[in-house]
Amino acid sequence: MAATKTNDVFTVGIDLGTSRSAISTSTGDRLVVDSFVGWPADLVARKILKRKVLVGREALDNRTMLELRRPLERGLIKEGSEKDIEAVRELVRHLLATAAQKSHKESAPVRAVLGVPAAALRTHKQHLREALDGLFDKLIIVSEPFAVAYGLDALLHTLIIDIGAGTTDFCVMNGRYPTDEDQRTLTVAGDSVDAHLQQLIRNRYPDADFSIFMVRDWKEQFAFVGDPPREPVVVTAPVRGVPTPIDITTEMQTACEALVPPIVETMFDLLASVAPEYQERVRRNVTVSGGGGLIRNLGPKIQCALQQVGGGVVTVVEEPAFAGSDGCLAIARDAPDADWDKLGK
């Protein structure tokens, strides 16, 4: 089979996330969308929206008129229903089409590398591959933290902690393709912070009316651990129909800090599995990526916890939202034609 010339193809890296999905392309474009897909709920909605399907923020904003799906759970296709599979296809199709249009590569064959949670089983990966059949010319599926490590050239004696919405993935890079033993996945992640925060706010302000979407927006704007910010975290929510400012500083701190103990415990667990002579080097090369990396003070908090085991250095990547897709793109770019050809059509 003749290999496709690399310069003819559109190469992309995709981080298919539970909350947000990002794409990075070989032409330098990057795009992130909310992982929501919606279909008009009835004829009236279709007439108003004038679209068969809406994706991302547009779907969220019009959710009252839509049959809305968030098709990914823990970074994988939720429960395998036909509708969720269709939603994942629409989501990826949207990412790809938008990126290709920006890059003027609409008709080019697509080579993609897709990141999935570290704990994804081979059945999950195959399921995903089948669900996305036909959208790419070639597809490689890799563990998300591995992609992050690859993109950062952090391939030897490093620990990646990728905090997404559905999962927090850990991966120790030992200079080999990570195996099950090198990786861990926690379900304590952004979504669990949202749920916790929603409960705490509801407990304190039982009359306030707010949705999980509002809570998520507040978290993304104000999340912090450790010392509270100088200005209290005050948001506006309707109380008996009247927009009312409510102080959620304590609730935000409590919900976000609930992330820390399981992350630290898992980090210690994984560090202990590293050969003793390399443990210090790994401790000094801990990298935090994913949306959770945007939580203020999280890096220092984890670094502080490392004092218990001899100290270390934690770095938060500069653009956590794109660390996964950039890493996937780096893999896609570096993979030689011969490797792509092994994957068949």
Partner 1 sequence: MANTERLKARLLREAVEENVATMTGRLPRPLRRSARIATWWGQRSAATLFFLGLLGGVRLSFGAATAAAPVTTVTTIPQNPVVASRPAADAASFPRPQRVSVAALALAVRRVVIDAGHGGKSLGTSAVSGLSEKEVTLDIAERLRVRLAGQGLTVLMTRAGDDTISLQQRSDIANEGRGDIFVSIHVNALTPKDRGIETYYLGASEAPATDAIAADENRDSGYSLADLRSLLDGIYIDARKDESRRLAESVQRSLLRDLRRVNHAVEDRGVKTAPFVVLVGTRMPAILAEVSCLSNDEEAALLSGPGYRQSIADALLDGIQGYLRGGAPDGSKETGHGSY
Closer residue to partner 1 in complex, CB, 124/219: 124
Closer residue to partner 1 in complex, CB, 20/184: 184
> CA-CA distances (angstroms) from residue 88 to 18, 60, 334?
11, 16, 26
Closer residue to partner 1 in complex, CB, 44/195: 195
| DSSP run (H or E) holding 60 | helix 57-61
Does 175 bind partner 1 (CB under 8 A)? Our answer is yes
Q: Kindly provide the residue ranges of all beta strands, DSSP E only, lying in 130-167, ordered along the sequence.
A: 138-143, 156-163
Does 331 bind partner 1 (CB under 8 A)? Our answer is yes
Does 153 bind partner 1 (CB under 8 A)? Our answer is yes
| Binding track over 209-228 against partner 1, x by CB under 8 A | --------------------
Report yes or no: 308 and 272 within 8 Å, Cβ to Cβ. Answer: no
Report yes or no: 216 and 230 within 8 Å, Cβ to Cβ. Answer: no
As measured in angstroms, the least distance from the Cβ of 125 to partner 1 is: 5
Q: 3-class SS at 87?
A: helix
The residue within the footprint of partner 1, chosen from 83, 125, 202, 296 (CB under 8 A), is: 125
In the chain, what is the straight-line distance between the N-terminal and C-terminal CA atoms, in Å?
A: 10
Residue 58: both structure tokens together: 């547009």
Closer residue to partner 1 in complex, CB, 31/142: 142
| Choices 215-223, 245-253, 257-265, 289-297 (CB under 8 A): range interacting with partner 1 | 257-265
Closer residue to partner 1 in complex, CB, 32/198: 198
Closer residue to partner 1 in complex, CB, 33/331: 331
Does 102 bind partner 1 (CB under 8 A)? Our answer is no
Closer residue to partner 1 in complex, CB, 40/324: 324
As measured in angstroms, the least distance from the Cβ of 142 to partner 1 is: 5
| Binding track over 262-301 against partner 1, x by CB under 8 A | x--xx-----------------------------------
Report yes or no: 134 and 67 within 8 Å, Cβ to Cβ. Answer: no
Q: Kindly provide the residue ranges of all beta strands, DSSP E only, lying in the chain, ordered along the sequence.
A: 10-15, 20-25, 30-34, 37-40, 54-55, 66-69, 72-73, 76-77, 110-116, 138-143, 156-163, 168-174, 183-186, 234-239, 242-247, 286-289, 314-316
| Binding track over 34-73 against partner 1, x by CB under 8 A | ---------------------------------------x
Report yes or no: 217 and 162 within 8 Å, Cβ to Cβ. Answer: no
Closer residue to partner 1 in complex, CB, 153/209: 153
Q: Which residue has the tokens 């100088």?
A: 230
Q: Which is nearest to 71 in space by CA: 147, 133, 16?
A: 16
Residues near partner 1 (CB under 8 A) are 73, 78-80, 119, 121-127, 129, 139-142, 146, 150, 153, 155-156, 175-177, 179-181, 186-188, 192, 195-196, 199, 258, 261-262, 265-266, 331, 334-336, 339-340, 342-344
